[in-house]
Structure 1
C-alpha cells in the first residue's frame, strides 16, 4: 500500500480533504536536472535505459509535493516494439523513414511479445518503485491506438494529420487492422505494467480532437474502450482525449475511472456532460504557467472551486511546456496542496 493514496482515493470517487495534484510531462524538459541528462543521452536511450528512465521519473518528486509519479517513457515505444522503426529527429520530433501507407505494410506489422520487446520499461518500473519506496503511486501510460496510427501513417508530427485521416477514409480495412494490432499490443503492455506494480494507467489520445465526433467513434473511441474494458479489471484507467470534449458524455459511461479534460472546456460544461458521475482531471492551460505566481495561485483556487474538491485531480490540460520556470511549476503544485475550502 502507498502511504499517500490521495490520487487513488480521488480515482475511486471518495471524499478527500483536497484534490490530488500531478502534472502531465512532470518528468522532463522544464527541469535543469533533466536537461543535464538530455545533453548526455539521446531521447530513446533515455526511454530504453531503465536506470535513466527511473531517475527522470523521480526527479520532480524530489523537488515538489506531488501526489503521483508518472513513469518516464514515450507513447512511441509501442510501435517500435511492433517493428515500426521510429527515431527522434533533432528539431523535427518523431520521425519514420518509411511511413505506413499500404495494406501490405499493415499486414507486416507485428503484435509482439511485450515481455521481450518492452522489457526495459518493466525494469524501469521496478527501479522506480524502489526509489519511490511506496510514498506515492506510480502511473503507467500508453498512447491511444488512433494517436499512434497518426504518427505511423504521417511518419512525423503534423498540425492536422491529413495523410493519416485520408488513409483511414480511403483504406478503412487496413486502418482498422492497424488500429486493432496497436490495441492488442497496448492491452498486453499496460497489463504487464500493472503486474509490475503501477497503481493506475492513463491513455493519451493526443490527436483525437482531429476527428469529427462520428469519425472519433469509428477510429478512436471504440479502440480506447477495448483497452478500458480490458484494464479496468486490474487497475483504474484514466482516459485523456485532447480536444475531445464532444465525447465526454459517452466516455463517462465506460469503465474508465477518470477522464482528463483540456482547457478548451469549462469545469461546469465538463461536469454537465459527464453528469457529475466520474472523476475529472485537468484542465489548467500549460501556457498559463507563464503567469505571475499570484495569478497562478488565484487561477488554481478558482479551478478547484469550479470542479469541486471531490472526484477531481488537479492537473494541466496538456503537458508542461519546456520553457516554464521551475518556480512557476512549483507554485501550481503548492497552490493545490495548500488549497482550503472557502
Structure 2
C-alpha cells in the first residue's frame, strides 16, 4: 500500500521512473451522480447510511469500481460526528444539514455532550465501515474524512446552511471565549473521528473546510487555525498524509498549511503554480479541475486537465482532483473518461 501512486505523491515523492502520471480522485465521487449509489441507498436517510457499516463501505467503493480512481474517500458527512455525539441533526433534501437546536450562547456550549467513553463507543460503526472498505479496496488507498471546526461549528451556530455566516462571524468577535470553547469541542469531535478512521485502516486523511473562504486571514489565524491544528494533531503521530482543503481559500493557503497539513488542496480559483509560490517549498498539492468543465465538451475537459497537470508539474507531489465536489447532475461516464485520460498522461 505504501507504494501506491497516490500515497507517493501525497508524501512528496513524485518519481521520474516507470509511473509518472498524476493519481486522481474526486471529492464527492461517492454519491448522487452514481445510479448504483441511489439504488444502494434507496430510502435510507443520508446520515443513517453513513453509520450503517456495510452500506457506507459499499458506497465508498462504488466510484473506485466504476471510475478506477486512485483512492476511495470514506463515505460520510461533516455532521456525522455531531450526530454520534448525541446532537439532533438531519440532512434535509434540497437544504442540507439542519440542527434541532442552534448553539449561540455560552449556556448552549455548556450543554454540549461530554466527549468521553460514550462517544468513543459511538464510533464503532465508523471503525467497522472503514475495516470493510479497506478489505474491499485491496491495494487502493482509503482517505479518511472529517469536517473542519469552522465549518462544522458554523452549521451549529447558524442552525443550518448559510450564505454569509453572519451569526458565526459575529459570535467570533463579540464572544470569543464562547466561540473558542465551541470550536475546541468540535475539534475534539472531528479529531477523534479522524483518528478512528486511521486506526481502522485509512491511509491518508482530508480535513474539509467548505466555508472557511468567508474569513479574512487575521481572523482565521486568531479564531480558527488553533482548532484546525487540534484536529490534524489528533493524527499527527500516525504515518498518514494530512490533506487540508478549503473552498475559496486561496488567501489562506499558508496558514492552512501551518495548521498541520502535509498536503494542501487548492480549489479552481487559483492556478497550482501560483499556489506553489505561496506554500513552503516541497509542499505536495491537490487539485484543481473546475467542476464546470464536467458539463462541457471532451475537448474542453481534456484541455483543462492538461493545464492543471502543467500547473502542478513543479510540485513534489500532485494529486489531481476537482476544485470542489462532483455535482450530482454529472454524467458518470464523463468522470470515467476523465480518469482514463489523466492516467494516460506522462
Q: Same fold by TM (over 0.5)?
A: yes
The number of residues matched between the two structures is: 338
Are 1:216 and 2:216 an aligned pair?
Answer: no
Candidates 308, 312, 315, aligned match of 2:321 = 315
Supply the distance in 1 between the matched residues of 2:179 and 2:97 (Cα, whole angstroms). 20
Secondary structure, aligned partner of 1:30: coil
- Specify the alignment match of 2:170 in structure 1: 166
Question: Structure 1-normalised TM-score?
Answer: 0.94
Mapping for residues 236-255 of structure 1, pairs under 5 Å: 236-253=241-258, 255=260
Among 44, 47, 51, the residue aligned to 1:44: 47
Aligned partner of 2:158 in structure 1 is 154
Contact 2:22 2:342 in 1 (8 A): yes
Tell me whether 280-289 or 32-41 shows the greater mean CA deviation.
32-41
Q: Distance in 2 between matches of 1:254 and 1:96?
A: 28
Residue equivalent to 2:209? 205
Mapped to 2, the partners of 1:153 and 1:23 lie a distance apart of 29
Partner of 2:287: helix, strand, or coil?
strand
1:331 aligns with 2:334: no
Aligned partners of 1:255 and 1:219: how far apart in 2? 16
Tell me by how many angstroms 1:254 deviates: 5.3
Q: Paired residue for 1:59?
A: 62
1:232 deviates by 2.2
Give the CA deviation at 1:275: 4.1
- Per the alignment, residue 30 of structure 1 pairs with 33
Aligned: 1:110 with 2:146: no
**2-structure distance, mates of 1:41, 1:227:** 30
Q: Which runs of 5+ in 2 are unaligned?
A: none
Do the aligned partners of 2:283 and 2:316 also contact (CA within 8 Å) in 1? no
Distance across 2 between alignment mates of 1:198 and 1:111: 26
Aligned partner of 1:96 among 99, 124, 141: 99
Shift of 1:91: 2.0
- C-alpha distance in structure 1 between counterparts of 2:44 and 2:60, whole Å: 16
> Do the aligned partners of 1:259 and 1:280 also contact (CA within 8 Å) in 2?
yes
Q: 1:80 — aligned with what?
A: 83
Alignment root-mean-square deviation, CA = 1.6
**Partner Cα separation in structure 1 for residue 114 and residue 127 of structure 2:** 18
Query: C-alpha displacement at 1:279, in angstroms?
Result: 0.4
Q: Compute the displacement of 1:320 (Å).
A: 0.5
Whole-angstrom distance in 2 between the partners of 1:63 and 1:334: 11
Report whether the alignment pairs 1:277 with 2:282: yes
**Structure 1: where are the runs of 5+ without partners?**
none
Match of 1:261 among 257, 266, 273: 266
CA contact (8 A) 1:65 1:337 kept: no
